[in-house]
Structure 1
Amino acid sequence: MEFRYLGHSGLKVSAVSYGNWVTHGSQVEADQATACVRAALEAGITTFDTADVYANGAAETILGDALAGERRESLEIFTKVYFPTGPGGPNDTGLSRKHISESINASLTRLRTDHVDLYQAHRYDYETPLEETMQAFADVVRAGKALYIGVSEWTPDQLRAGHALATQLGFQLVSNQPKYNALYRIIEAEVVPTSRELGISQVVFSPIDQGILTGKYKPGQPAPEGSRATDTAGGANFIKGSLSDEVLTRVQLLAPLAEAEGLTMAQLAVAWVLQNDNVASAITGGSRPEQVHDNVVAAGKKLLPETLAGIDEALGDVVQADGSLVGKASPTSRLT
């Protein structure tokens, strides 16, 4: 396993991390989810990412149970706050002091730990003053409930404002968690340069674009049984908009490039993300232990220049690189 510093901090994280978005508590049963976490540990992964909203807390509970008995100091546990949890009351969402204070306590209980290594704003909250949010995060850090603070899907201006307040309040804003992969590169134009300037790393999700970059979805053919695209519990909703024949045809052109590098297409996709030196970790999932082991092969892999050029050529104009889309994932008003 390769380890990288998280932002301008002294914290190292595994270049390939394990996340349980969509799967744990919904698509994958608890025993199978635990087996995947054990596989991640066996493969050298020390960094685990979750969120309170995943399966309304069930994903955190499953992760906490699966990690029970492990040496806490040898792990980096990340979680997030913003989206509605609990019964969905008017204060069960957002980045208010109230919601952050209550959410960190609930997350720690579910995760069976007294602190998380990274606590992340899952989105930007347009209805709470940023000063209130950052003061609440500062208090979480001072209370020892989180060691570092990060964000997810924030714009360059939001990153600058948040970083400035964090500096004033005496804590470190070290990371941003965006979607990033060979097909989806909207952070490259402005987010990555801004983050480099501020000492913020990317901890990216969907490096294989929810399985699309594995090549298992074929143009003109039904989705394979058991794949995310067939998951009626929720997974299909996240992927259906990306399964166009044009995209899937282009993705098939990556197969010989992966073969030339001695990689599977999934490994190629994860390795591509890790070529960006602003990426501290690529969050991978998996519904089976063998998928977890497969992804780890990408750690430390240096792709040839001709491979990188070949990926660009193969994907061509199906790549989404419009920087104006950054931040669009943050609701302009709270969901409850």
Structure 2
Amino acid sequence: MGGAAACRPFAVPLNLRSCNRRSMTKITSPDGTPLSRLCFGAMQFGGKADDDDSLAMYEACRDAGLNFFDTAHVYTDGASETMLGRFAATERDRLVIATKVSFPGGSGRASILSSVEESRGRLGLDVIDVLYLHRWDAETPLEETFETLAGLQRDGTVRHLAVSNFAAWQVMKAQGVAATFDTRIDMIQPMYNLVKRQAEVEILPMARDQGIAVVPYSPLGGGLLTGKYRDGTEGRLTSDARYAKRYGLDWMHRCAADLAVLAEEAGTAPATLAVAWVLRNPDIAAPIVSARNAEQLAPSLAALSFDLDDALHARITALSQTPPPATDRLEEA
């Protein structure tokens, strides 16, 4: 379905017209455990991380107190969901497991239902804790999407609804439609890190106002902020054209080099500072960390115990470009 129907306006529900800020929905594991301050992204499970490395990362996360794990229908052709489900099977009720609808199929009813059923089977779950729309689908009416999602909530298949890679206006448009089906978006997943701060302009203020938990991905900037590219090490920025373009600006690489200098002064790894900087933002619920093996993951997990004081936080922030406010009135910033 698409065309003009996808663009038709909708009436804003009365409860979204209020200027009063919403309190954030409390998202916990089935046994009531609050979300951990970091989330682990299982994108590499079954891809660059083999079974042994994947299990070692899962165990390292659990040892560090993480109970929040993120995957998606499209990751590693389903291996990510399958492996995560196997690792989590013996302690499922203590965990919060999030997955995403298959975005190649769009956000229509048939695609959502088939994707969710396949994901449940792979994960070995009766109930998905958090279900994301992976991307904005301009071709499908939001009414169809959220009627379907609301039905999955009513029958107990999904606990919380979420969106990934949405602009702030798209979240609010979707939130308005969701309200007509007596549901809401509880979590969003934007890109956010020291060299990608666009979320500060509208996404973070919008989430604060609406009581939506922000779970950003890529706190290490595709590996740029680990400092590994200074010595010619290869990675996504050298092998993936999308990442090369996303993080290809000279000032971003200067920022990464300067962050490495600060990390050396602080006696820690650049990755630890990069994740700690995101963690310190009060609008962030849980940054998503990931890696190919437990050794590579360790500096990100170390951010949980790193004491990032005001002075060092200010020095790190000054390394990157603060985006102007949405109105572009710099005198009001």
What TM-score bracket applies, with the shorter chain setting the length? 0.7 to 0.9
Q: What secondary structure, in the 3-state scheme, does the structure 1 residue paired with 2:194 have?
A: coil
TM-score of the aligned structures, taking structure 2 as reference length: 0.83
Residue 232 (structure 2) aligned to one of 191, 213, 222 = 222
Q: Which of 254, 260, 263 is the equivalent residue of 2:268?
A: 263
Give CA deviations for 1:7-41 in whole Å, capped at 9, x if unaligned.
422533111111022x2222222222122112211
Distance across 2 between alignment mates of 1:222 and 1:244: 17
**Match in the other structure for 2:144:** 132
Question: Do the aligned partners of 2:200 and 2:323 also contact (CA within 8 Å) in 1?
Answer: no
Match of 2:71 in 1: 50
Report percent identity of matched pairs.
34
Look up the equivalent residue of 2:25 and give its one-letter code: H
Picking from 120, 124, 135, the partner of 1:112 is 124
Q: Distance in 2 between matches of 1:34 and 1:182?
A: 29
Given the alignment, which residue of 263, 281, 286 partners 1:281?
286
How does 1:1-336 map onto structure 2 within 5 Å? Answer: 7-11=24-28, 12-21=34-43, 23-69=44-90, 71-84=91-104, 93-218=105-230, 221-224=231-234, 227-229=235-237, 236-241=240-245, 242-243=247-248, 246-299=251-304, 301-315=306-320, 317=321
**Segment of structure 1 superposing worse, 153-162 or 51-60:** 153-162
SS at match of 1:27: coil
Q: How far off is 1:267 after superposition? A: 0.8
Q: Which amino acid in 2 is paired with 1:78?
A: A
8 Å CA contact retained: 1:184, 1:321? no
Contact 1:284–1:295 under 8 Å retained in 2:
yes
Residues in 2 aligned to 1:149 and 1:101: alpha-carbon distance in whole angstroms: 14
Looking at secondary structure, tell me which structure has more helix per residue.
2
Q: Deviations over 1:115-141 (max 9, x none)?
A: 111000111111110011111110111
Q: Which has the larger radius of gyration?
A: 2
- Aligned mates of 1:247, 1:155 — CA distance in 2: 22
Unpaired segments of 5 or more residues in structure 1? 1-5, 85-92, 325-336
Residues in 2 aligned to 1:119 and 1:247: alpha-carbon distance in whole angstroms: 32
Please tell me the root mean square deviation across aligned C-alpha atoms, in Å: 2.3
Tell me the TM-score normalised to structure 1 length.
0.82
Q: 1:51 to 1:96 in 2, by over 3 A?
A: same
CA gap 1:129/1:185 in 2 versus in 1, 3 angstroms: same
The alignment partner of 2:162 has SS state of strand
Aligned to 1:77, what secondary structure does the other structure show?
A: strand
> In the TM superposition, what whole-angstrom CA distance separates every residue of 1:185-238 from its partner, at most 9, and x where no partner exists?
1111111111111111211000011211011111xx5324xx44466xxxx344
| Structure 2 CA distance for partners of 1:165 and 1:41, relative to 1, 3 Å | same
> How many residues are matched?
299
Partner of 1:327: none
- Of structures 1 and 2, the one with the larger relative CO (CA 8 A, separation 6+) is 1
Confirm or deny: 8 A CA contact 2:193 2:220 kept in the other structure: yes
Contact conserved, 2:27 with 2:35, CA < 8 A, in 1? no
